[in-house]
Amino acid sequence: MRVGVLTGGGDCPGLNAVIRAVVRKGIEVHGWEILGFRSGWQGPLTGESKPLGLDDVEEILTRGGTILGSSRTNPYKVDGGVDKIKSVLAEQGVDALIAIGGEDTLGVAKKLTDDGVGVVGVPKTIDNDLGATDYTFGFDTAVHIATESIDRLRTTAESHHRALVVEVMGRHAGWIALHSGLAGGANVILVPERPFSVDKVVSWVERRFERQYAPIIVVAEGALPEGGAEVLQSGEKDAFGHVRLGGIGTWLADEIAARTGKESRAVVLGHTQRGGTPTAYDRVLATRFGLNAVDAVADGDFGVMVALRGTDIVRVKLAEATAELKTVPASRYEEAEVFFG
């Protein structure tokens, strides 16, 4: 049996751990051939692939990113894309695919399953916004990186008695902002799920200054001021219809400075959140996902995604996993508000 594996969408720490698990169990337990497709769904479209053996994955557990490369290619936006994929898989003798990705990548996997291609999904995203799984790998590492950055920024903020606005990733879900903000002791946390009042933010900031401390504000890139709109880096859309967000941190820092008369600066963490060495938690979770994805292929159980429920790895339908985003509930945000100001 020959099994293909690919990584799609934004990269994140832990992707290589999944690839390693798939290769090792696929070869050593089942005697399969493993074929790695390059650059996400672009690989099955163009036929760009390479065999993956045990030596290829020997040293990749601790490496961030993905040895296969990634892209935001959407085969359903390519003329004849599905037929091209079926043709490539047939030509290369691929019996099944393991697709590692987030909402968009697994949305394609679900459609391909409906169109007769055997696909098993593995949930990846630093945003932790995929439904049907308690956690996605990559999230823990992103939160650690953001928290460490907040810790470092706090010391310089205190030294100069200035407000610092830290912009983290999170287009529609504020999990990184919430967790890193709580762990870093932020005085304000702003998430996409709840439009914020600039007046209220300013009041929290002023309260902090009154106590002779420097405020730290953590804001997700997709957070919205009441009555406002998303701040865009570019109006250009990718193959899945997403525009590039970014700039809410700078906008908010300027508002705070204008309304308080205090110096305020913005720091955008950007892609540092999804680069570098994965945490131990993400390495273990990604490895478990990879091993269980192989089991699903061996069982011929296609159209499913492996998921974390409590401490167990289970299988859920791709349709369930991609039905809706997992966002921060009001109760979780309200828990955090006691620490604001």
Feature table: binding site for Mg(2+): 103
Which member of 11, 104, 127, 129 is catalytic?
127
Annotated binding site: 10, 103, 125-127, 162, 169-171, 221, 265, 271-274
CA 287 to chain CA centroid, Å, is 17
Length of the chain: 341
Query: Is residue 199 among the annotated active site residues?
Result: no
Contact (CB, 8 A) for 153 and 164: yes
Residue 124, token pair as written in the block: 């990846």
Annotated binding site for substrate: 125-127, 162, 169-171, 221, 265, 271-274
- Concatenating the DSSP letter of every residue in 99-113 gives EEESHHHHHHHHHHH
Residue 219: partners with Cβ closer than 8 Å, 6 or more residues away: 165, 166, 167, 168, 177, 188, 189, 190, 248, 249, 252
Name residue 44's amino acid: P
Alpha-helical (H) ranges within the chain are: 15-28, 42-46, 81-91, 103-114, 139-160, 175-183, 198-210, 248-260, 280-298, 318-321, 330-336
Adjacent-strand bridge partners of 217: 165, 188
Q: Is 326 helix (H, G, I), strand (E, B) or coil?
A: coil
Residues catalogued as catalytic: 127
